[in-house]
Amino acid sequence: MADHSGRWHGPKRYFGLHYDLHAGPTDTELGVRATPKDLVPMLKLLGADFVQTDCKGHPGHTSWYSRVPNATVSPGVKRDALKGWRQATEQLGLPLH
Protein backbone atom coordinates (compact mmCIF):
# COMPACT_ATOMS: atom_id res chain seq x y z
CA MET A 1 0.00 0.00 0.00
CA ALA A 2 1.31 3.42 -0.94
CA ASP A 3 2.16 5.90 1.78
CA HIS A 4 0.44 9.19 1.03
CA SER A 5 1.54 10.80 4.30
CA GLY A 6 -1.96 11.09 5.68
CA ARG A 7 -3.57 12.09 2.38
CA TRP A 8 -6.26 9.42 2.05
CA HIS A 9 -7.19 10.75 -1.38
CA GLY A 10 -3.72 10.22 -2.88
CA PRO A 11 -1.03 12.56 -4.17
CA LYS A 12 -3.05 13.87 -7.15
CA ARG A 13 -5.93 15.25 -5.08
CA TYR A 14 -5.59 18.63 -3.43
CA PHE A 15 -8.66 20.84 -3.91
CA GLY A 16 -12.12 19.47 -3.34
CA LEU A 17 -15.67 20.68 -3.13
CA HIS A 18 -17.61 19.76 0.00
CA TYR A 19 -21.31 20.20 -0.63
CA ASP A 20 -23.67 19.90 2.33
CA LEU A 21 -27.32 19.25 1.70
CA HIS A 22 -28.98 18.82 5.06
CA ALA A 23 -32.53 18.15 3.91
CA GLY A 24 -35.40 19.04 6.14
CA PRO A 25 -39.19 18.95 6.17
CA THR A 26 -39.63 22.42 4.65
CA ASP A 27 -37.22 22.13 1.71
CA THR A 28 -38.56 22.37 -1.82
CA GLU A 29 -37.18 21.47 -5.25
CA LEU A 30 -34.35 19.30 -3.91
CA GLY A 31 -32.21 17.92 -6.72
CA VAL A 32 -33.80 20.03 -9.45
CA ARG A 33 -30.49 21.64 -10.44
CA ALA A 34 -28.26 18.68 -9.59
CA THR A 35 -27.88 17.40 -13.13
CA PRO A 36 -24.72 16.89 -15.18
CA LYS A 37 -25.89 19.77 -17.40
CA ASP A 38 -25.80 22.08 -14.38
CA LEU A 39 -22.92 20.57 -12.42
CA VAL A 40 -20.25 19.77 -15.05
CA PRO A 41 -19.64 23.40 -16.15
CA MET A 42 -19.47 24.54 -12.52
CA LEU A 43 -17.04 21.76 -11.57
CA LYS A 44 -14.84 22.53 -14.58
CA LEU A 45 -14.77 26.22 -13.67
CA LEU A 46 -14.01 25.42 -10.05
CA GLY A 47 -11.20 23.01 -10.93
CA ALA A 48 -12.03 20.61 -8.11
CA ASP A 49 -10.03 17.39 -7.79
CA PHE A 50 -12.82 15.59 -5.91
CA VAL A 51 -16.33 16.18 -4.60
CA GLN A 52 -17.84 15.30 -1.27
CA THR A 53 -21.58 15.60 -0.83
CA ASP A 54 -23.61 15.01 2.31
CA CYS A 55 -27.16 14.06 1.50
CA LYS A 56 -28.86 13.44 4.82
CA GLY A 57 -29.91 16.24 7.08
CA HIS A 58 -29.52 16.60 10.80
CA PRO A 59 -33.27 16.05 11.27
CA GLY A 60 -32.81 12.66 9.57
CA HIS A 61 -34.44 13.50 6.24
CA THR A 62 -32.81 12.08 3.14
CA SER A 63 -32.43 14.16 -0.01
CA TRP A 64 -32.90 11.10 -2.19
CA TYR A 65 -35.68 8.64 -2.82
CA SER A 66 -35.42 5.58 -0.62
CA ARG A 67 -36.93 2.11 -0.66
CA VAL A 68 -35.92 1.58 2.95
CA PRO A 69 -39.00 0.96 5.07
CA ASN A 70 -39.75 3.90 7.35
CA ALA A 71 -37.09 6.13 5.71
CA THR A 72 -37.76 9.81 6.25
CA VAL A 73 -37.47 11.29 2.77
CA SER A 74 -37.74 15.07 2.63
CA PRO A 75 -41.02 16.01 0.94
CA GLY A 76 -39.04 18.47 -1.20
CA VAL A 77 -37.17 15.79 -3.18
CA LYS A 78 -37.97 16.31 -6.85
CA ARG A 79 -34.94 14.60 -8.42
CA ASP A 80 -32.20 12.31 -7.07
CA ALA A 81 -29.39 14.79 -6.36
CA LEU A 82 -26.88 12.08 -5.45
CA LYS A 83 -27.43 10.42 -8.82
CA GLY A 84 -26.82 13.77 -10.55
CA TRP A 85 -23.58 14.36 -8.63
CA ARG A 86 -22.43 10.81 -9.45
CA GLN A 87 -23.13 11.27 -13.17
CA ALA A 88 -21.33 14.63 -13.27
CA THR A 89 -18.26 13.42 -11.38
CA GLU A 90 -18.05 10.25 -13.48
CA GLN A 91 -18.18 12.36 -16.63
CA LEU A 92 -15.20 14.37 -15.35
CA GLY A 93 -13.33 11.42 -13.85
CA LEU A 94 -13.57 12.86 -10.32
CA PRO A 95 -13.93 10.86 -7.13
CA LEU A 96 -17.22 11.34 -5.29
CA HIS A 97 -17.23 10.88 -1.54
Q: What digits encode the pLDDT tens for the residues 6-42? A: 555 566 666 788 888 788 889 889 889 999 999 999 9
- Tell me the residue ranges of DSSP E strands in the chain: 16-20, 50-54
11 in a structural domain: no
4 in a structural domain: no
46 in a structural domain: yes
2 in a structural domain: no
pLDDT of residue 40: 97
31 in a structural domain: yes
Look at the pTM and tell me if it is higher than 0.85: no
**What residues pair up with 18 in beta bridges, in sequence order?**
52
Domain that holds residue 34: 16-92
**What residues pair up with 73 in beta bridges, in sequence order?**
62
43 in a structural domain: yes
72 in a structural domain: yes
Structural domains of the chain, count: 1
Supply the DSSP string of 5-28, one letter for each residue: TT-TT-TT---EEEEE----TT--
63 in a structural domain: yes
